[in-house]
Chains A and B, each alone.
Chain A
Amino acid sequence: MTSAPDESDDELLLRSQSGDEEAFLTLYRRRQAGLFRFALHMSGSMPVAEDVTQEVFLALLRGDCGYDPARGTLSGYLFGIARKLVLRHLERRRSSIALETDADDYTQPELAVIDDPLLDLTRREGIDALRRAVQALPRRYREVVVLCDLEEVDYADAAVALGCPIGTVRSRLHRARGLLLEKLHQERNTRQAPGTLKPVRCVS
């Protein structure tokens, strides 16, 4: 059976639960990229993102997956599963290679010096700086930025995925953006510092 392009996620899920493979694959192709990128932005690891994406849809295959359309969209529900799986990976990694992770966060960027990363974040260097800044955010802020700002998930779905009210999503996003601006500003100052503090000889 073929799937109509305008078929909703819920319809596809119903059909896939009744054994329609095409519906399941259509649903997968429609949602996998966003979930994969979310997991990638959150973990910074392609293998983890791959595992998480696969596990999300395996969870959907189970009859008692727990999805309730009355509580939100399927998209938000899938992001919620992905988030839990990513957090599990992060917890595992934190306990095993915590030092390595910390070192990654503080690696100085090998970028051409720009005057102000805030002036043009759409340049290659600016994009990299912003990506690193997002990666360095605390987890609760990183996930809301990745969901709402990078994957353009609406606040309602983000609230379902994060398991919190919409107001909390908005306040976290506000705080996260403030932290990002602050971090990018600090990065600019860090780059400017070597140029401004030139070694001088004491002649006295």
Chain B
Amino acid sequence: MNCQEFWNTIPELGECDESHLLECPTCAVRMMRHRELEAGFRAVAAGSRQVAAPPRVEARLRTAFRQQTGAEHHSPSRPWIPAVTWVAAFAAMFALAAFLVRTRQPEPVRPPAPRAVEMAAVQQPVDYDGFIPLPNSAGVAADEDDVNLVRVEVPRSAMIALGLDVSADRASELVEADVMLGSNGVARAVRFLE
């Protein structure tokens, strides 16, 4: 083994071939310096053996650990905070649900505007001639007593939806109509006066 091969094995970090050191004084000196360096390392390590992080680091970490795990002693009011939060969240959810349910219920038909609406007839018996049943309604219920008639003005274009002929140039004109409201306030039929 020559010197290059000897040092390629990194002998200072483990087992070394003593036979080469016996026959090569240069490598023996170099190896001796490595041993002295190791002794120096041990001396430096021993000199700093007592060096450690100051106690305040442990105190900070203890605080951080307690905050992390929730084991810190809370003020008396703090344990209630999550419960109050949940109660508030549930209350908000119930309020929202109630609002949504109410908005889905059918609302009574409101007259469009006072100037365009007047009560046509409430007295009985009602004349049901000429009424056109509205889609999704029960049609003209002749035997139903509790009905209201509301007279409104609607655009002539509204007649198109009921299958009546309307010229395009008159579509924006207003036309009077009677709307029959059932007892539940839902429009059942409509009658155009013209």
Q: Which residues does A use to contact B, with CB under 8 Å? A: 16, 19, 21, 24-25, 28-29, 32-33, 35-37, 40-41, 49-50, 53-54, 57-58, 61, 118-122, 126-127, 130-131, 134, 145, 149-152, 170-171, 173-174, 177, 180-181
Q: Tell me the minimal C-beta distance from A67 to chain B in angstroms.
A: 16
- In the complex, what distance in Å separates the CA atom of A56 from the CA atom of B161? 75
Residue of A50, A61, A131, A151 near B53 (CB, 8 A) is: A50
4 shortest interchain CB distances as A-B pairs: A121-B40, A33-B52, A122-B43, A149-B41
The answer on a CB contact under 8 Å between B68 and A149 is no
Residue of A16, A35, A118, A131 near B33 (CB, 8 A) is: A118
Instruction: Scan residues 1-60 of chain B and give those whose CB is less than 8 A from a CB of chain A.
Output: 10, 12-13, 33-34, 36-45, 47-48, 51-54, 57-58, 60
7 pairs from A and B in contact (CB 8 Å cutoff): A19-B71, A21-B69, A41-B48, A118-B36, A127-B47, A174-B13, A177-B37
- In the complex, what distance in Å separates the CA atom of A37 from the CA atom of B39? 19
Main SS of the interface on chain A? helix
Residue of A19, A49, A152 near B45 (CB, 8 A) is: A152
Chain B residues contacting A122 (CB-CB under 8 Å) are 39-40, 42-43
Among residues of B, the one whose C-beta sits closest to the C-beta of A20 is: B69
The answer on a CB contact under 8 Å between B44 and A130 is yes
Q: Tell me the minimal C-beta distance from A125 to chain B in angstroms.
A: 11
Q: Tell me the minimal C-beta distance from B166 to chain A in angstroms.
A: 69
The answer on a CB contact under 8 Å between B12 and A32 is no
Chain B residues contacting A150 (CB-CB under 8 Å) are 41, 44-45, 48
Chain A residues contacting B158 (CB-CB under 8 Å) are none
- Which has the most chain A C-beta neighbours within 10 Å: B34, B36, B39, B58? B36
Among residues of B, the one whose C-beta sits closest to the C-beta of A54 is: B57
The answer on a CB contact under 8 Å between B38 and A33 is no
The answer on a CB contact under 8 Å between B64 and A61 is yes
Chain A residues contacting B42 (CB-CB under 8 Å) are 122
Chain A residues contacting B71 (CB-CB under 8 Å) are 19, 21
Chain A residues contacting B34 (CB-CB under 8 Å) are 177, 181
Q: Tell me the minimal C-beta distance from B2 to chain A in angstroms.
A: 18
- In the complex, what distance in Å separates the CA atom of A131 from the CA atom of B64? 34
Contact status of A170 and B10, CB under 8 A, knowing A58-B61, A181-B33: yes
Q: Tell me the minimal C-beta distance from A121 to chain B in angstroms.
A: 3
Chain B residues contacting A33 (CB-CB under 8 Å) are 51-53
Among residues of A, the one whose C-beta sits closest to the C-beta of B58 is: A28
Binary contact track B121-162/A, C-beta < 8 Å → 1, others 0: 000000000000000000000000000000000000000000
Chain B residues contacting A40 (CB-CB under 8 Å) are 48, 51
Q: Tell me the minimal C-beta distance from B99 to chain A in angstroms.
A: 39
- In the complex, what distance in Å separates the CA atom of A149 from the CA atom of B66? 36
- In the complex, what distance in Å separates the CA atom of A177 from the CA atom of B37? 8
